[in-house]
Structure formats: structure tokens, C-alpha cells
Structure 1
């Protein structure tokens, strides 16, 4: 039985992944931003265990995990949580930049740092659910895209550093996916939201599981997932 820690399990891709991992009998740990959210996740995913840590405050993650009992070994760390705020460069405030970079980049880096000993022990796998915005930036997506470009750099550096020890690192770049975040994006764009036009979160979860389940003789480093219609 493998042990996984997932961020962003409350909805979308993270929710699909958490459910699929539980269904196949793996041990699941979920990161929640506060105790109330942890209680909700525990009720939604019977058998899963929770840790509390706010990704919006990366500098406090070490303190938070230090007062809890994370797993002794970890087969995968799945970074799925994220946030987005659209806006023109001339309009985005430092607060939006700070929030976006904290949740989408600095927190994944810090959480990875804190859990690397467990990942090294099991020759585990770190998966960063990135975005096609981490490959190409569009108008009004500067803060989000910058955080995702940075996340790809983090993954590439981590892979180079940990490959010799057997830790695998994968970046998954989905295009627009039918999640609550995508609904918010459409609201910000002033467009009607039709989830049937976009990737099903289950399809992205299937992609992540394929990377996790790949035999040890190979490693998927980067995957791009685009709508099939």
C-alpha cells in the first residue's frame, strides 16, 4: 500500500485524485488550510488522514507540521492546490502577486522541502499539477503564469537534485479543466461557463496516476493535457 499526500483535495482535480487513491486502497493524507476544513475533508474521504497547514502562509508551514505527526514515509507528494486572479499588469497589486506566488509556488517549494526526508526514504514521487499557463503566458494571466513558470523551474531543479537518489518528479500541464477555479476564471473574463467544453478533472487524475504507476525503469518528467474536442 502506497502513502500519498494531496493538496487541493477539496474540489476539482485534487478531489478526483483523492477519491481514486482511496478507492484503490492506498493510504491518503490530505492537507487542509484550517481545522474546520480538515474536519470536512475527513468526513468526505473516510479513512483519509489530515494535516493542517495554510498554503497562503508558507513561512508557517514548518511550524504547523512540527506540531503534528506527518507520515514517516511518503510515496508521493501531489501538489494540486492553486489560486488564480486575472488582471492586466498595470492593474495587479502587490497583494495579488504575493498571494498568487505564495500559494502556487512558495508553498509547494516549502512543503516539498519539509517532506523530502520521507520522500527520499521511499524513493518517492513529487507531482506538480501545473498548467499550460506554465508554458505560455497570455494577456491578463501574468501573475498566474509567472507562478506556474516558476513551478516548472522548481520541478526541473528538484528533479536534477534528487534523481540520483531515486526521487521522481513530474510536471503535469493541463489546459482549461472543468473545476470551480475555471468557473471563477470565466466570471473574471465575463464569459459564460460551459464545463462540457473543458477537460474533465477525472482525465487529469488518470494522467497523474499513470505517472505514479509507471515502473521504476522510467520517469515521466512533463505531460501536457489538452481538451480532446
Structure 2
């Protein structure tokens, strides 16, 4: 029997790339906020099962999680990013970043712990370079990613039957990144960023790491040859 993986935020960008990378070896549950957001990835990977649920609606998440009877891999990819300096960020922005990037992750993990324990499963947290170092204008987002890293550290210690990996990629060439760069008032140059497929391959290799090893943290940064121009 093939292992089963649930990927949140799988409708586009990095989540879709992770789904493509795992499709040859895993039965997939592809998560997204709305059913129509998953149409393209399910058409591309017909064997995948759509798992549409708004992760901020905890009652709906509880109902959706009840239908998962077996799970080997949980990839937390869904999240939000809103920029703003501390002076520009009201309480609502901080709450939204924490709710989307930490609380939703913690609650879904909690609900799925029984099936993850049963399979000695693997939880992969798609974090960020901002979860290691905060930059100006990224305070609320970085705080949520630092908290996500702490969540992963705690889960790793509390659930010794699970493998828990925090993945910290730098900026990735996605639609979300285009929106962020537009907010920053800069011209978008995709060559400055990591490719989603590159990060997805790192996630795939992490999941396929033999069971005698526990990959706890993976850090990826955009790179270009000397003289190039990449976001770090």
C-alpha cells in the first residue's frame, strides 16, 4: 500500500509543485480553501483527492479531518503573508498572521495526530527565511514564522514517534511573490527567486529520507553565479 500525504495550499505555487513531486510515490489529498481552487491540480493529477476546507474555520476543519482514516505525511504549505512595518500594522494584521500561519497549523496537526501516530508519520512545515531572521516590514509575518518554528520544535519533542521537519526557503517565484514585490514597489524578476520545483524537490527528498534519519531543519536560499543577482 502506498503512503498517503495531505498537502495544504496545493492548488497552485509551491503546494502544487510538492503535489507533483510526491504523486509518483504517494496517494495524495490536496488541500485548498475552495473546491474550484483545486480543479487544475486534480485535472493534472487525476489520482489526487481534493480536500477543500477553509483552514481558518476550525469547525469545518474538524469535520474534514474526521474523514482521514490513514495518513503518513502532512505537509503544511498553506499560509498568508502581509507586509507592513510595526508602525503600519494594527492588531488585526498580527492576529491574522498568527491565525493563518500558526493556529491553523497547530489545530490541523492536533486533529490528525491519531492517524499520524499510527503510521509513525512525518509532519513537514513550510516555514520561511523569515522564520530565522526578520527584516524591516516583515514583523508580523516573521513573528508568525518564528512561532511556527517553535511549534515544530515542541511537536518534535512531544511526539517522538513522528518526524517533524521545518523547511526554510528564501523567496520563491510564485503568484504570492509577485504580489509581495508589487507591494514593495519593485520590478519583478523571476530569476532572483527560487523555483517552486526546486523547493518541492527538497521537500520530496526530506520525506523520502530513510527512517534511520530525522531531518529537522532544511534551509534553502536563492543562488546565482558570481555577478548574478538573487534574493537572499
Establish whether TM, by shorter chain, passes 0.5.
yes
Structure 2 match to 1:14: 15
Structural mapping, 1:4-83, within 5 Å: 4-22=5-23, 24-58=24-58, 60-66=60-66, 69-70=67-68, 72-83=69-80
**Structure 2 residue runs without a partner (length 5+):** 225-232
Give the 5 Å matches for 1:125-140.
Answer: 125-140=122-137
Which of 201, 207, 211 is the aligned partner of 1:212? 207
Distance 1:210 1:64, change over 3 A: closer
Gapped regions of structure 1 (runs ≥ 5) = none
Structure-2 residue corresponding to 1:92: 89
Structure 2-normalised TM-score? 0.91
Instruction: Please state how far the C-alpha of 1:44 moved relative to its aligned partner.
Output: 3.9
Residue-pair matches, total: 223
Q: How far apart, CA to CA, are the structure 1 residues paired with 2:200 and 2:144?
A: 22
Correspondent of 1:201 among 196, 202, 226:
196
TM-score, with normalisation over the residues of structure 1? 0.92
Paired residue for 2:181?
A: 186
- Are residue 142 (structure 1) and residue 142 (structure 2) matched? no
Partner of 1:120: 117
How large is the RMSD of aligned CA atoms in angstroms? Answer: 1.5
